[in-house]
């Protein structure tokens, strides 16, 4: 019986290695299958949208129906205005809320704030847009970039809050205790030590929130409405890239459809850059705190 044990152990080790190799191969196959739709979408969008990419595409507005050339300058400027204001509103609120939840929040109030953030994370964007339309647009009696920015802020705030809170919780307590032991006030410890240590993670949260803001169409349609001309007044109806893509894609004119594909290329590129950058910052933060 003792002579059979070594071969049995060898057989068991060989079986484990084969099983590990099989599962590894299955995971790689699953990853490749998941990547195929993404590659096909990116390739098709690039094929359809790249031919219209030019200087005029970024500096001119759309031409009259049937005329060649033109661009989506009003949409790019409108997106910058709406997303910029939305980011300026949501980032301070999100970071301050995350600091409260991770450093000070205890009891029912913190639970309620965290619950609201979780609910807003899963709320459909059109619901947020309809809410802001009912509260802001009807009150102002006008569609505007401000209304669109508030709608985006409602969607961006919970992303920043929850992601930043989790990042702040990763900061070692030893740093906090060391600062407090030296007599540093708690608010200064949070401002000078905790937030800088989690800086990459906070920036990751902001980039993910901005990436979502870039791609939203329904809230902008219900709050900013759109504009065929360049507008820099935040109190007036303002265009945006997703909204312009939506409108041009339904057009019967080939040139406008081509511009929609060009807008899709720029939007795809912006979201990919932000998402990849957020991933790189997240990996850097994990290595730093690990």
- Residue spans per domain, the chain: 2-52, 57-289
| Average pLDDT along the chain | 90
Do 206 and 277 contact (CB within 8 A), yes or no? no
Whether pLDDT at 268 is above 90: yes
* Residue 128 · residue 216 · CB < 8 Å: no
Instruction: Specify the pLDDT at position 289.
Output: 64
- Nearest-CA neighbor of 4 among 247, 12, 223? 12
Options 3.30.2310.20, 1.20.1250.20, 1.10.8.640, 1.10.3720.10; CATH for 57-289 is 1.10.3720.10
Supply the pLDDT for residue 63: 83
**pLDDT at residue 7 in the model:** 62
Question: Is the pLDDT reported for residue 145 higher than 70?
Answer: yes
How much is the pLDDT for 168?
93
Q: Which residues of 131-147 are buried (b: 16+ CB within 10 A; e: fewer)?
A: bbbeebbeeeeebbbbb
pLDDT confidence of residue 1: 46
> Rounded mean pLDDT of 175-187?
91
Helix residue ranges per DSSP H, 170-253: 173-181, 186-189, 195-197, 199-215, 218-223, 241-249
The pLDDT value given to residue 106: 85
Measured at the alpha carbon of residue 48, what is the angle toward residues 45 and 54, in degrees to the nearest 5?
A: 105
CB under 8 Å to 171, separation ≥6 — which residues? 193, 194, 197, 198, 289
DSSP state string for 120-182: HHTS-HHHHHHHHIIIIIHHHTS--HHHHHHHHHHHHHHHHHHHHHHHHHTS-HHHHHHHHHT
What are the tens digits of pLDDT across the range 22-35?
999 999 999 999 99
* Mean local confidence (pLDDT), 124-143: 94
Q: Is the pLDDT of residue 81 over 90?
A: yes
Q: How far is 114 from 124, CA to CA, in rounded Å?
A: 18
How far, in Å, CA of 238 to CA of 166, rounded? 35
Q: Model confidence at 282, in pLDDT bands (50, 70, 90)?
A: confident
CA 4 to chain centre: 60
Q: Is 261 left (phi over 0), alpha (psi -120 to 50) or beta?
A: alpha
Phi-psi region of 175 (alpha: psi -120 to 50; beta: other; left: phi over 0): alpha
Averaged pLDDT for residues 136-140: 95
Pick from 207, 209, 199, 191: nearest CA to 170: 199
The whole-number pLDDT of residue 132 equals 96
Quote the CA–CA distance of 16 and 76 in Å, as a whole number: 56
Q: How far apart are CA 230 and CA 190, in angstroms?
A: 43
Q: Is the pLDDT of residue 13 over 90?
A: no
Q: Is the pLDDT confidence value at 12 over 90?
A: no
In the chain, % of residues over pLDDT 70: 95
In the chain, the N- to C-terminal Cα span, in Å, equals: 49
Q: How many residues does the chain have?
A: 290
> Minimum mean pLDDT among 30-34, 105-109, 203-207, 219-223: which range?
105-109
Query: For the chain, what percent of residues have pLDDT higher than 90?
Result: 74
pLDDT confidence tier of residue 50, bands split at 50, 70 and 90: very high
Neighbour-count burial of 199, counting CB atoms closer than 10 A to its CB (0-12 exposed, 13-18 middle, 19+ buried): middle
């Amino acid at each position: 019986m003792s002579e059979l044990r070594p071969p049995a152990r060898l057989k068991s080790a060989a079986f484990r290695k084969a099983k590990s190799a099989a599962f590894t191969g299955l995971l790689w196959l699953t990853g490749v299958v998941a990547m195929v739709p993404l590659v096909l979408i990116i390739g098709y969008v690039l094929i359809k949208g790249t031919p219209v990419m030019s200087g005029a595409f970024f500096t001119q507005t759309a031409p009259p129906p049937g005329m060649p050339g033109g661009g989506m300058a009003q949409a790019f400027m409108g997106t910058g205005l709406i997303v910029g204001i939305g980011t300026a509103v949501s980032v301070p609120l999100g970071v301050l809320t995350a600091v409260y939840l991770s450093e000070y929040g205890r009891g029912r109030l913190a639970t309620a704030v965290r619950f609201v953030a979780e609910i807003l994370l899963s709320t459909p964007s059109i619901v947020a847009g309809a809410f802001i339309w009912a509260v802001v647009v009807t009150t102002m009696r006008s569609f505007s970039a401000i209304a669109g920015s508030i709608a985006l802020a409602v969607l961006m705030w919970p992303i920043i809050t929850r992601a930043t809170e989790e990042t702040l919780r990763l900061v070692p307590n030893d740093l906090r205790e060391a600062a407090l032991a030296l007599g540093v006030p708690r608010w200064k410890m949070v401002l000078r030590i905790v937030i800088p240590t989690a800086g990459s993670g906070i920036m990751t949260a902001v980039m993910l929130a901005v990436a979502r803001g870039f791609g939203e169409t329904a809230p902008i349609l219900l709050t900013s409405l759109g504009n065929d001309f360049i507008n820099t007044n935040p109190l007036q109806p303002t265009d945006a890239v997703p909204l312009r893509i939506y409108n041009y894609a339904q057009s019967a004119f080939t040139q406008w459809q081509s511009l929609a594909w060009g807008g899709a290329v720029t939007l795809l590129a912006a979201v990919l850059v932000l998402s990849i950058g957020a991933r790189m910052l997240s990996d850097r933060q994990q290595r730093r705190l690990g």
